[in-house]
Amino acid sequence: MKKLVLSAIVATTLFACGGKTEKTETATATAAFPANASGYNLDSTANTETLKKINDLAWGGDLKTARTSYVDSAMVYDNGKKITIDENMSMVTLFASKGIKSHTDSYDAIWESVNNKVDEIGVQNYVFAYEHVSFSKGDKKITVILFQALAFNKEGKVVKEWDVYDTSALAELLK
């Protein structure tokens, strides 16, 4: 009788454990993306770190190293105006020549979107960031909210960048 009860307990335990495994596999299988999903977002990636590195290097004046994160033909849309990456980076040199120091104070949000398909410019990965950038000259300091979107190729290099910010406060510092 003891053997029969012990066998029943062992069989019940094995059956219960087997059921849990099947439920877990089913739950994992149902975690797939919806049929109409075009991609997914990640909050921390090598590309989000590259964006932060680019900003730190550029604002710190190391434009040569910051430039290595871009392809040679990279274009920037600075508040909608299409310019080369070198023209964009020359603004940092202009600020420095006017005695203006720049720094990214914080990132309100930064994430990478990974699309399911390569788009018309050959990109699947885009990094987006909302950040607070401070500009100071003497005892004057302003903070600008900057939105950046960067298109990364498979090699982790930026091919296009979009920067959107309010320039009105910067005009005062440039005088």
- Selection from 115, 89, 117 nearest residue 102 by Cα: 89
pLDDT band at 162 (very low <50, low <70, confident <90, very high): very high
Sign of CA dihedral 11, 12, 15, 20: negative
The DSSP secondary structure of 118-147, one letter per residue, reads: --TTS--EEEEEEEEEEEEETTEEEEEEEE
Q: Report d(CA 96, CA 140) in Å as an integer.
A: 15
- Tokens 């299988």 locate to 29
Three-state DSSP state, 57: helix
Q: Report d(CA 74, CA 121) in Å as an integer.
A: 11
Name the residue type at position 105: D
Per-residue pLDDT tens digits for 90-148: 999 999 999 999 999 999 999 999 999 999 999 999 999 999 999 999 999 999 999 99
pLDDT band at 31 (very low <50, low <70, confident <90, very high): low
Is residue 58 scored above 70 in pLDDT? yes
Six token digits for residue 16: 């219960």
Specify the pTM. Answer: 0.79
Six token digits for residue 104: 């990214």
